[in-house]
Amino acid sequence: MDINKLISVIVPVYNVEEYLEECLDSIQKQTYSNIEVILVNDGSTDNSKEICERYCRQDNRFKLINQENKGLSEARNVGVRVSMGEYIFFVDSDDVIKTDILETLLPLMTEDVDIVGCNHSSQKEDLTIQTNPNIVFQGNSSEALSNCLNYRVVKHVAWSKLYRRNIVEVVPFLKGLLYEDVYTGVANLKFIRNIVIIDTIGYYYRIRPNSIVRQKYSKKNLDIFKVCDSLLEEFSNNEALPFIGRFTFIQIIEHLLYHKIKPQHPYYKIYQNHIEKYANYAKQSPDVLRSSKILRLYLKYPKYFSRYIFILYFKYISIVNRFKKIIRRYS
């Protein structure tokens, strides 16, 4: 592995003037200096463009692409197309990365590894924690898929990972859709040879109330069904299909919960239909049935599930997880 390889850091930018400088500073100060930073201004109407232009004047590693507003997915795709690096790293423009994270990840990108990822946190101060990186997961395509679809170490987010270029190119982000990571972050695992995940917290994910997916519910939120359907289509001839079915089944339940989609909601029936659809894919595998209590609950009580049981189930899980955290803290 040549540690002098160029890394393309791709930053989609849209109306983030309040956070953009902090994001770009964290990239500019990377201890691994052989980088290009592709800023894709996706039709910002605030001062984001001017901030990007200033960084481009100050540092010739920064390059600005301006386009009409086409959404996060297409901004990332454009960034990939114009980039020159052998490796790709995505950063959302309101987030911050640890100053040595690229230098930490790159040596783990050996000849048969296509993705190297780190941990992330929604607490900025966690970036200051100094630890020696420990590998918490290392596996091939099928092992990575299993880990991701069981909600373990391998996450389906685009950021906090260093990619070999061809992996990003073979699975572009779905154009014009929200929740694009749900598809891309799982589908690209189908094409990798190996992936490595370390426990170092190298990425600060900022949670803000006015972000795209946290805005007031609209018809655009129904993109989640298109994304999940695309994922099922991608794996239609793959032995992992029932596991994809369970994954999409849980995604829709969590989406319904998060947005408080109650029976009187105009789109409630659409959620019901898709929950049934994804459960039918999932139940094709005895292994999936054995491993998923919530799926078995749904199949046993489909008429009552969305109204009552899943709410109680997730409240139970939340209480258990809180109890576990308390035990760990005082043990």
In the chain, what are the domains? 7-204 (3.90.550.10), 216-330 (no CATH)
The alpha-helical segments, DSSP class H, found in 106-164 are 141-149
Cβ within 8 Å of residue 209, ≥6 positions away: none
* 3-class state of residue 83 by DSSP: coil
Question: What is the tens place of the pLDDT at every residue in 111-135?
Answer: 999 999 999 999 999 999 988 999 9
The predicted structure's pLDDT at residue 204: 97
- DSSP labels for 13-32? ESS-TTTHHHHHHHHHT-S-
| Structure confidence at residue 257 as a pLDDT band (50, 70, 90) | confident
The predicted structure's pLDDT at residue 258: 87
Question: What is the tens place of the pLDDT at every residue in 8-46?
Answer: 999 999 999 999 999 999 999 999 999 999 999 999 999
| Structure confidence at residue 80 as a pLDDT band (50, 70, 90) | very high
Q: State residue 133 phi and psi, 5-degree precision.
A: -65, 130
The predicted structure's pLDDT at residue 304: 80
Can you read off the two tokens belonging to residue 268?
């409630």
The Cα–Cα gap between 315 and 58 comes to: 51
Contact 81, 172 (CB under 8 A): no
* 3-class state of residue 36 by DSSP: strand
- Checking if the pLDDT of 292 tops 80, the result is yes
Question: What is the tens place of the pLDDT at every residue in 57-75?
Answer: 999 999 999 999 999 999 9
Mean pLDDT for all residues in the chain: 92
The predicted structure's pLDDT at residue 195: 98
The predicted structure's pLDDT at residue 211: 61
The alpha-helical segments, DSSP class H, found in the chain are 20-28, 48-58, 72-82, 101-105, 141-149, 165-170, 180-187, 223-234, 241-258, 268-282, 286-291, 293-300, 302-304, 310-330
Q: Average pLDDT of 189-215? A: 86
